[in-house]
Each structure stands twice: as structure tokens, then as C-alpha cells.
Amino acid sequence: MESFNIFFKKINQDIKNKDNLSLDEIKNILSKINEYFFTGKNGLGKTEALKMSFPYFSEFHKFWEQYHDKILNPTINEKKCEEVADVLHDLYVKFGKNLYYDLYSIDTRNLNDEEICKVRYFSANQDFRGSRSFEEFADIYNTDPTIFDVEKIHNYPVDFLRGLNLTGLSQSDKREKFAKTSAKILLELGIEPFGLFSHFDKDLLKIRNFLIDSQGAGYGQKKTDMFIRDMVVLGVWKNPQKFNEIDVASDINTIKVALRTGILETDVLLLSSFLDVFCHQYGLIDEMTAKAWRNVWEIWNKKYPKECIDSPCLMDILIYRIIGREFCKERLCLFQCENKKHSFMWHSGRNKTCQECFKLGDKKAKAFVVEKVLPCSHKEGYLCIEKNKYVVGEDAVLPGLKECPFADVCNSKDVSFIPLSPPKLTVIIFDLATGFQKKPSTYKVVKFYQTKLPKLNFHYDDKTKEFIKLNNYVSKKAGHLKANMVYHDPKRYFKMIYYPKIEGGFTPARIHKTENYIEISQDSFRKLTVPNRWLINAHEYSHNYINRDRDNEDQADANGMELYLMQGFPYIEGFYTFERILHDTESNEERKEFVYNFLMKHRLENWQGAELW
């Protein structure tokens, strides 16, 4: 701790016995903070990460590596664990054991156990952000089983990725490595994926350790636990040993729920991820979260042995998917009427109507979101919970629920409640020798290469050609264009009005229903990539010029994406456009799934033409 004490003494000398600081004194303090936290020095030594050696980033980096666990001091709260265990048991009693098992049920498309295991094994280690289903891969297998041949995957991993329509996703080199290595470890054992079970004597812990230790196969702890869990729940691996040793697959949602329920506590609030170089904090909290949820399960199993699930991992989807992603998010929206006569709570941020004015007969009055809160923190939070797909509809597993099951444990309506959040991973590029520099001396960019996008030869009408010209100009120049200006295409068919912000809403752009001009938010567009901006404007254009139903968002999504893809823009940037601008609501999740499927089907290398909606 010597380095931090020296740093503190330097700062203390500047502020001692002073009520106010001069500008020069403030400059001096900031310089010392930057020096300690972000500047490297000779003689600091090296650290080990990712099986490589790196110089310490700064004095703080070295200090944080040594003391992060003692400063954070994460502990498991036994009392809170018991409260959570009681809630999970109550759900078990009220909704039945199947609540924890049916969440994992899938349509296996009549594949046998060996085939299910093979399809899941070679897809589980790829990262799809939850957008690709087992059913989709099972259909591919039924069409051509040779795509999943172990030896073929090892020898031709790119063909495997192409067969699964994964070549358009990011990090293709990593995906190729995962496919090749996961096939290689099977070839070395002389088995198929299903054979892992017998090879390791039905011991799931041995299988788990083998997969995690297989460097380059893409099987970290989370994906391994999920794969093993699925094999047991689907009945592929029968009568397994040590299923109860498989943990909840820790992620930002299970961490979030652990922190907010209080089953995991720290002495201080988590540091900004910007300070957590090499993720010491993240790794520690991730590890402790898994232990905390295991402790919850052990208490539950001890108190109610006949009314308990078989393994902690069976809590996974309930905690991360339903509680973490659906209930424990700021989804409840406070709306204000455009004429400021009313304010009201609503379950969806997509609402544009003042519901109170509508009741009084004014059906044109608009409303806009002024705040979003956690449903559990407000008395009208039931508006969100009752509308959730896991509470009502075909996917309902918690019918009739009106509040998050953990609301009382979190004490979320208390004014002292702080919605703690998990640590986030930050990736930064820095100069190891001198810290953050505008013009670093240890590396430099020597050349940029510009290549043309591979466009489709397609005949557009004159107006569409002019829109494309205008959209190209505005999308590329949006970071430099002046606000409060009107921009036209050369023939002045269209105009785009570039405002600092769009009043009365959070949309990045919108088109006028009758005048046909597009309003754009400079504040939003400056944060987006060129492809993002292009697709947003194409979506707005589609409303008035391509859609069969002008107000239909799905049609505008599809038609805008088709126009976007014809320009040769990246498929993955199209998906990220919607990821960045759509809030996490049930309807938006469905909309993003539609977008993903459309882009996968119609991306440039697969292009056969898409029907205009």
C-alpha cells in the first residue's frame, strides 16, 4: 500500500487547510491523479494475464492487482441467501417443479440423443447474443448432417461456419478457432460429443473441467455449464454423476440480481470498469456470484429437501432471463403529456399517446417519456410485470404474477434502495510506456486503406437515387454538419432537417407524414456509425415511399434493411443499429429478433432478392 500512501500525501499537500483551490492548484492535482492512475513508469515490473506478460499500466494498476480483493471484500450474506431461497421455494410450490425445468425445453426436431448432443456441442461455444435457437441449427442438421461431421469441422472450419450462416458475424477468426479446436479435442479422444459422457464415467465435473481446460475450444465456465445443463435436462445424458456441482452460469444479469438482493455484498461500491485494468474486479465478483447462488441453493435444499431442484444451474434462466433481463430493468416509463396537463406511468416506452387525454376524448394528444424506473420500485410496477411474456401468453410460466418475486428481499420501494449494477468490461488501447497520449511515441498509424463496398446492381427510380445520394452525404458527414440546417439532394426531391435534438421524444430520426421531410437528431447521430445512420434514414424513407402500410414499423424495418443491404453495408452493423436505438422491452426484443433473421436471410452473400413489404 506504500504507493497509494505516497500518492495520497502528494494530494494532501495541495489541499491541506484550504477551503478553495486556485486553477493552478487544480491542474497540479489532476496531473498527479493522472500520473498515479494512468501513467506507466520504468521499474514497475510486469503482470501475467492471458498466459502472457505485460508491463504494469500504472502504479495504481500494480496496487489494484494486489489489493482489489481486500478493498472490495465481497462476502455472502447468509440471511439474504435464506430469504432468496424461501422465495425460490415459494415459486416452486406455487407454480410447480416444472417452472425450473420447462424453461429449458426445446423442439429437438426429432433428432436422437447423439445428434442433439452434437448440434449443441458445436453451437454452444459460439456467441450469438441469444439470437440463434437450437431449432435453427437442428433444421440445418436435418438438411445436411455432414456439416456437423467432426473430422470435416476440424479440416474445414470455415465451411462449418458457412453452413451455419455464421460467416457474417463478427470475430470470424475466433469462431473458426473454436470450431477447429472443439473438433480436435474429440478426435484426440476418438469420440463423438455424445461420447464425452461415457469417456469421463458419467462424471459431469470431469467433463466440465476437461472442456474449460481445453484452450481455444471456446468453452469458458459459463458456456460449459450451460452445455452440460442442457444435456441433463433434455435427457441426453442419463443418470449423471455430480449434476449438483454445476453452478448458475454467472453473467451480468445474475451478478446484478445477486448485488441487488444483497446475497453478495462488498465493502465499497464497485469501481468504474475503466479503473479495473485486466478485470481483477470483474473476475472476483463473477466467481463470488456463482458461490452466492450455490449457497442459496444449498440453503433451499437443506430446508426443503423434498421441494427443491436437483442443481443450482436450474435456477439459471429464471434468474438471468426472467428476473435479470425482464423484471430488473428500468422498463416502467413516466410519461408527460405534450401540453403538460397530465403525467402517467406506462409499461412501454414506444407509447406516443397521452393516455389520460385519450380517455377524455382528445385522441391526438401526444406524450413523451421523462423517466424510466425499475417496476419493483414503484406502486404501478405491475403495469410492466402483468404485460411480460413470461406472465401472460403462450410462454407464461409465472401466470398471475404482479411483482418481481425478489421485490421484498431487495426492499426496492425504500428510499434508501440503491440499484447496484455489475462491473462492465472496458477495452482500451494505451501506450504502455507513457500512458494516455494524444500522440503516443511507441506506435503510430502509418496508412489508411479505403475500399469500395460491394454493391448490388439494381435499377432504382429517380427519386430513390436522389434519396440515396442525400443519405450518403448526411450519413457520412453527420459528425461535422452544422445543426439547425436543411440539407437537400441535388434535384431537391427530399430534405433532411438537422436539429441539435428532436423535441418531444428520444428517436434519432423521424419523417413527417405529409410533408415528407426527415428530422434528424445531431446528438444521436454523432454517437452512431455511418451504416447506423444510413439504415435509420432508410427506415424513415420507407415509411412514406415504400411501405404498403405507412405506419407499420415492421414494414419500414424490412424495406429499410433491404435498401441498406443493396448498398453493400455490413450485415452485422445493421443488427447493431437496432441494438443501439431500441430500448429493452418485450416488443423490441421480438422486433430485434425479426431484424436479425431478416438480415441473416438477405445479407449480400446470400442475396436472392427480398420482397418489399
- In tens, the pLDDT along 126-147 reads 865 555 788 999 999 999 999 9
**Looking at the DSSP assignment, which residues form a beta bridge with residue 49?**
52
What element of type H or E holds 336?
strand 332-337
Among 188, 248, 254, which residue's Cα sits nearest to residue 217? 188
- In tens, the pLDDT along 20-41 reads 888 988 888 888 888 888 887 7
Cα 61–66–68 angle (5° rounding)? Answer: 80
pTM, rounded to two decimals: 0.68
495-499 and 518-521: which strand pairing? Answer: parallel
Cα 299–304–307 angle (5° rounding)? Answer: 120
Burial of residue 182 (CB within 10 Å: 0-12, 13-18, 19+) is buried
The pLDDT mean for the chain works out to 86
Least confident interval from 125-129, 377-381, 469-473 = 125-129
Tell me the C-alpha distance between 465 and 488, whole Å.
13
276-290 in b/e form (b: 16+ CB < 10 A) is bbbbbbbebbbebbb
Q: What is the pLDDT of residue 612?
A: 44
Q: Where is mean pLDDT largest: 401-405, 522-526, 566-570? A: 401-405
Burial of residue 3 (CB within 10 Å: 0-12, 13-18, 19+) is middle
Q: What is the pLDDT of residue 52?
A: 73
Residue 428 above 70 pLDDT?
no
